[in-house]
Chains A and B, each alone.
Chain A
Amino acid sequence: MRVRPRTAPGLAALLLGTPLLAMTGFASGPPPRHLPAAGPPPAAGAALDDSAPAERAPVVVASKPFAESYILAEMFAQILEARGIAVRRRLGLGATAIAFAALRAGDIDVYPEYTGTGLVAILGEKPPSTGGEAFRRVSMEFRARWGVRWLPPLGFQNTTAIAVRRATADSLHLATISDLARVSRRLVGGFSPDFLGRADGLPGLEKAYGLHMGQTRALLQSVKYQALASGEVDVIDGYGTDGQIARYNLVVLRDDKHFFPPYDAAPLVSRHLAEDRPDAVAALSELGGMLDEAQMRALNRRVEVDGEDVAVVAHDALASLGLVPDTVGPPPAAAASGGPGGVGAATVPEAPSAGSLPAYLWSHRHATFRQTLRHLLLVVLSLGGGILVAVPLGLWLERVRRSAEGAIRAVGLLQTVPSIALLAFMIPILGIGVGPAVVALFLYSLYPIVRNTYSGVRDVDPVAVDAARALGMTDAQVLTRVRLPLAAPVIMAGIRTAAVIDVGTATLAAFIGAGGLGDPIVAGLALSDTNMILSGAIPAALLALVVDGTLSMAEGVVRPRGLSRGSA
């Protein structure tokens, strides 16, 4: 993933600079809608009663899906808890677009953001020349436009880093990006999708340095380092506090023309928190200026490279800064992150996952079971809704055939909206969590079902239909006794297709805090933890097989016996 904005891979590229950006509420648009159901209610009584903070709605702490964001969010959560403030975690939200939309809508209260991201990705302005300038600018604009507040920066700057293998640097004598520009035509770049497209990414870099990569590939953060280490690419973009740079013994090329602006990390808080929760704002502000780049890199390394538990690393960091008492192990609240009502918040992994996959899967079986149930819930609700809408729609279209193809194609267009963009698009309307995820999955399930229902019913043997009518069946009888039974296998095939797609797409629901098996996949990708990824991916694949198998049996049941082979 690219440096600064560190949005989820692909999402930023999809959203930034597109109309969807405006749709998700970035550039301008109606004032943010507060969604009291999901966010803490701005209860007048509570605002007056500062003496009883424990009874207030918990502060919702979120992060974006990469290690540093998880660590910082966990530090936010733990310092709030240490100051007696109840917290609910919603870690690993899909990307800048999703996290910020959720913050504006009041679904979350705080997440770690970078000033440069705020300026470039959210405000759509040019990168700042100095850190201080950027912070002043975003503070003013975010407050004026959305009432959203930047708290004091944490102290470290997270600059974009262009990195190469040590062997490449040695053989080509590379120390600076200017050096790279001389030989860049011979090299292959592996960059985050958004870095490839952003003005302060590769295009800007090419202009500033006269650099031209021989070839570029869009790579996700989680695979970029392996791709570089294995020689599939020669140059990557990373970020200055990245724990992986040391791990792979990479050389960071000096930005000798100061192209990359400094990005300061800071807590970005909702209007509600800024206005009504001075206790929380004070607690978060304690972190101001406390972390430098070396410290952050060390924390990232512990999580990304050593596979340590995020909660433990965050606790150690706070303890070493003297902000919380130094106890052994993570505070209990961290382990119970999410809690019973933690609607699908991507919980931080409970234990380091070094070791064998079977052992990891076994030790996480309870979490996996919960995630599988949640996943199944998402699939059942969205698919059920899809069937209830798409089957009647398909039947109706068969009766008004002239408009059928156009209508079905329009439904098919939904399929072309990238899932993560659709999820982001839902946030201003539906917030985050299960609701918008189910709606998005529902929309994806429509096409295969409506298509198969329509063509299945349409293609029923016309002679049989004609005979049924001519012998005196009513239209309703023709539909229920002839068309539907004969089309049932085709309709079921459409439902099966939708279900299998649904199980796969539902993993992306983790990006908007809907939980499910996407949680460990997203967290594992962010934390470079293969076992964690597989603990979500394997059950998801098995679930797809089980759902498909179950529906295949259902198909056998609905298939009219007169049509099946071998029955007599």
Chain B
Amino acid sequence: MSSPTWALEARGALKSFGPVRALDDVTLRVAVGEALALVGESGSGKTTLLRTFNRMVDLDAGEVCVQGVPVAEADPVALRRSLGYVQQEGGLLPHWSVLRNVALVPWLQGRADADSRARDALRLVGLDPDTFDSRWPRQLSGGQRQRVALARALADGPQVVLLDEPFGALDAITRGELQMAFARVVASLGVTLLLVTHDLREAFLLGRRIAVMRAGRIDQVASPEELLAKPATPYVAELLEKAGVT
């Protein structure tokens, strides 16, 4: 049993897809209330690592814990309902209204006030529930869709939220707006955050700590300042230089 002080913890995580080592002995810890940004190029294993926490991916070896409980021992459905989750494309159910999408997890949990929770969540992400509740996902802009997806992830009040490139598909201006709004929301909620992104600027903006991943391994975990001051590997240095965040 690992210490419950960690909201998320991976120890010696191994995962292969055929001949490809997606996770090669990964160890990572995220403290309660912390925002950790997991950065890397595509194929580095960062999405795989994120998906081990909600058991969308099961490990070959090693252990992953959420709030001190090994996920292998948890019921996957209950585990997933307890974690917020946002993907790059939003993943809104196209045949459900905005309100129903946002109310998904409270509804799955059988909460009587699912709809009012959903309306609160919409307000939280800056969407007027009265305007948006009955809209269909296809009637929304890309930015609105990601806001709805974020509201959906937050509606049941999860302690931990997993974000997989949540702003990756947006244009630069929308992305910037949304990142700012998002930073305010998570700060106000005090939730634990694991953000997967390929964008180092975004990681600097939203992450209190940053983990750099490459080829299934973690090169460095550090605060932004530490990362800038002492890149642990040439790859981290190169990444910083490319991103222009020096």
Q: Which residues of A contact B (CB under 8 A)?
A: 461, 463-464, 466-474, 477, 481-482, 485-486, 560-563, 567-568
Contact = CB atoms under 8 A, between A and B. Distances in A.
A486 B77 contact: no
Contacts of B81: 471-472
A457 to B, nearest CB: 14
Contacts of B139: 568
Interface string B85-100: 1010111111111000
Nearest to B56: A470
B26 to A, nearest CB: 20
A468 B91 CA distance: 8
Contact of B136 (A464, A473, A568): A568
Contacts of B51: 470
A471 B80 contact: yes
Nearest to B89: A463
B79 to A, nearest CB: 8
A401 B99 CA distance: 34
* Most chain A beta-carbon contacts within 10 A, residue among B54, B92, B95, B135: B95
Given A463-B90, A561-B95, A568 B135 contact: yes
28 contacts: A464-B94, A466-B91, A467-B93, A470-B56, A470-B80, A470-B87, A471-B81, A471-B104, A471-B105, A471-B108, A471-B152, A471-B153, A472-B77, A472-B79, A472-B108, A473-B77, A477-B108, A485-B95, A486-B95, A560-B94, A561-B136, A562-B96, A562-B136, A562-B137, A562-B138, A563-B138, A568-B136, A568-B139
A562 B148 CA distance: 15
* Most chain B beta-carbon contacts within 10 A, residue among A461, A471, A477, A562: A471
Interface in B131-148: 134-139
B78 interface: yes
Contacts of A482: 93
A547 to B, nearest CB: 26
B85 A471 contact: yes
Interface of B: 51, 54, 56, 77-82, 85, 87, 89-97, 104-105, 108, 134-139, 149, 152-153
A467 B83 CA distance: 12
Contact of A486 (B87, B94, B134): B94
A560 B95 contact: yes
Given A468-B91, A470-B85, 5 more contacts: A464-B94, A467-B90, A473-B77, A481-B93, A568-B139
A62 B105 CA distance: 66
Contact of A563 (B79, B89, B92, B94): B94
Contacts of B105: 471-472
A481 B80 CA distance: 17
Contacts of B138: 562-563
A403 to B, nearest CB: 21
A402 to B, nearest CB: 16
B104 to A, nearest CB: 6
B87 A466 contact: yes
A464 B91 contact: yes
- 4 nearest A-B residue pairs (beta carbon): A467-B91, A560-B95, A472-B81, A472-B80
Contacts of A463: 87, 89-91
Contacts of B149: 467
A561 to B, nearest CB: 7
Nearest to B94: A562
B101 to A, nearest CB: 9
Contacts of A461: 94
Contacts of A464: 91-94
A474 B77 contact: yes
Contacts of B85: 467, 470-471
A567 to B, nearest CB: 7
A485 B93 CA distance: 10
Contact of B54 (A470, A473, A562, A568): A470
Contacts of B153: 471
A472 B95 contact: no
Contacts of B54: 470
A352 B79 CA distance: 78
A469 B93 contact: no
A461 B92 CA distance: 10
Given A463-B89, A562-B136, A473 B94 contact: no
A474 B104 CA distance: 13
Nearest to A472: B81
Contacts of A481: 93
B53 to A, nearest CB: 10
A473 B108 contact: yes
Contacts of A470: 51, 54, 56, 80, 85, 87, 91
A562 B105 CA distance: 20
A474 B105 CA distance: 12
A109 to B, nearest CB: 58
A469 B80 contact: yes
B78 A472 contact: yes
Nearest to A465: B91
Contacts of B152: 471
A360 to B, nearest CB: 50
A221 to B, nearest CB: 54
* Most chain A beta-carbon contacts within 10 A, residue among B90, B108, B153: B108
B159 to A, nearest CB: 15
A388 B136 CA distance: 32
Contacts of B97: 562
Contacts of B96: 562
Contacts of A474: 77
A467 B136 contact: no
B77 A467 contact: no
Contacts of B90: 463, 467
Contacts of A477: 108
A123 B77 CA distance: 67
